[in-house]
């Protein structure tokens, strides 16, 4: 029976405590003492950190009975409590809330730096490629100018070759004409030489014939007349 009364009393006490319960927070002091009773002469059972949430159960002599760390109870001077979370809690909450944002911001800054570095490298490569292309363009321009000069020279040589070929053709034609003329002259000379030899043979034959006639007919008669005349003279 006594046990039932004790349980009932305890239950009523807890019900009254829940009815009077009020959410409070430890002030911004670094630590606050929790005592076993409502007075400075009671022993300190715990030093609770600033900003810790507690539940007010009762009030006596300027002390509040609180529940903390789950179901633990104790007494703390009312000046160590306040109705709003401490600035430290706000700071911690803000840190917890903004830490992901800070991490994301750091990640974004790292990404920006990486992109800047990649952009600088790409710009450097682009400048190098541009310089290489300009050098290649300069080389190609020089080669093109050399080719143009060579083409002009080849055209000049080609025109000269055409002119020389035309002159060679003219010389060949002239040489052919001269060869024909030489052949004609040789043939004419041979003919004339043949005619001259025939005339000489004819003249020789006539002279020989005249000599024969002279020797056989005329001279003997002359000699005969000469002898007769000499004979008559004697």
* pLDDT confidence band for 136 (50 / 70 / 90): confident
Choice between 27 and 63, residue whose per-residue pLDDT is larger: 63
Asked if 67 and 54 touch (Cβ cutoff 8 Å), the reply is yes
CA–CA separation, 73 and 2 (whole Å) = 25
Choice between 98 and 60, residue whose per-residue pLDDT is larger: 60
* pLDDT of amino acid 16: 46
Environment class of 173 (CB within 10 Å of its CB; exposed 0-12, middle 13-18, buried 19+): exposed
**pTM over 0.75, yes/no:** no
Query: Percentage of residues in the chain with pLDDT exceeding 90?
Result: 11
The superfamily CATH assigns to domain 12-85 is SH3 Domains (2.30.30.40)
Asked if 19 and 57 touch (Cβ cutoff 8 Å), the reply is no
| Angle 31-99-90 from CA coordinates, rounded to 5° | 35
| Angle 49-53-57 from CA coordinates, rounded to 5° | 115
* pLDDT of amino acid 123: 86
Residue-wise pLDDT for 7-48, tens only, equals: 455 544 444 444 456 666 555 556 788 898 988 899 999 888
Q: What is the four-CA torsion angle of 14, 20, 25, 31, rounded to 10 degrees? A: -60
For residue 55, is pLDDT > 80?
yes
Q: What is the four-CA torsion angle of 28, 33, 39, 43, rounded to 10 degrees? A: 180
* pLDDT of amino acid 63: 93
CA 185 from chain centre, in angstroms, equals 80
CA–CA separation, 27 and 83 (whole Å) = 9
Written in H, E and C, the secondary structure of 96-148 is: HHHHHHHHHHHHHHHHHHHHHHHHHHHHHHHHHHHHHHHHHHHHHHHHHHHHH
* pLDDT of amino acid 14: 45
What backbone torsions phi and psi does residue 27 show, to the nearest 5 degrees? -65, 180
pLDDT (mean) for 92-117: 82
Choice between 136 and 90, residue whose per-residue pLDDT is larger: 136
Structure tokens at 173: 């034609």
Domain range annotation of the chain: 12-85, 86-184
Per DSSP, 85 falls in state -
CA–CA separation, 88 and 78 (whole Å) = 19
**Which of 10-24, 88-102, 157-171 has the least mean pLDDT?**
10-24
Residue-wise pLDDT for 178-223, tens only, equals: 888 888 888 887 777 776 666 667 777 777 777 777 667 665 666 6
* pLDDT of amino acid 18: 46
CA–CA separation, 10 and 18 (whole Å) = 12
pLDDT (mean) for 131-155: 86
């Amino acid at each position: 029976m006594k046990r039932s009364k004790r349980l009932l009393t305890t239950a009523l006490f807890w019900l009254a405590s829940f009815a009077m319960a009020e959410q409070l927070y430890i002030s911004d002091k670094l630590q606050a003492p929790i005592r076993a009773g409502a007075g400075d002469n009671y022993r300190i059972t715990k030093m609770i950190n600033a900003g810790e949430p507690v539940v007010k159960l009762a009030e006596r002599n300027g002390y509040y009975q609180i529940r903390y760390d789950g179901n633990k109870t104790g007494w703390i001077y009312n000046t160590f409590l306040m109705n709003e979370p401490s600035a430290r809690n706000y700071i911690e909450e803000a840190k917890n809330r903004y830490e992901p944002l800070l991490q994301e911001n750091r990640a974004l800054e790292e990404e920006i730096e990486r992109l800047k570095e990649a952009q600088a490298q790409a710009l450097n490569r682009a400048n190098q490629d541009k310089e290489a292309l300009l050098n290649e363009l300069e080389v190609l321009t020089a080669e093109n100018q050399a080719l143009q000069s060579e083409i002009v020279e080849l055209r000049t040589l080609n025109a000269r070759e055409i002119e020389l070929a035309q002159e060679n053709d003219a010389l060949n034609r002239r040489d052919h004409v001269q060869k024909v003329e030489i052949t004609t002259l040789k043939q004419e000379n041979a003919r004339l030489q043949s005619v001259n030899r025939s005339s000489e043979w004819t003249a020789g034959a006539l002279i020989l014939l005249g000599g024969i006639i002279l020797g056989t007919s005329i001279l003997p008669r002359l000699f005969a007349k000469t002898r007769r005349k000499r004979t008559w003279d004697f």
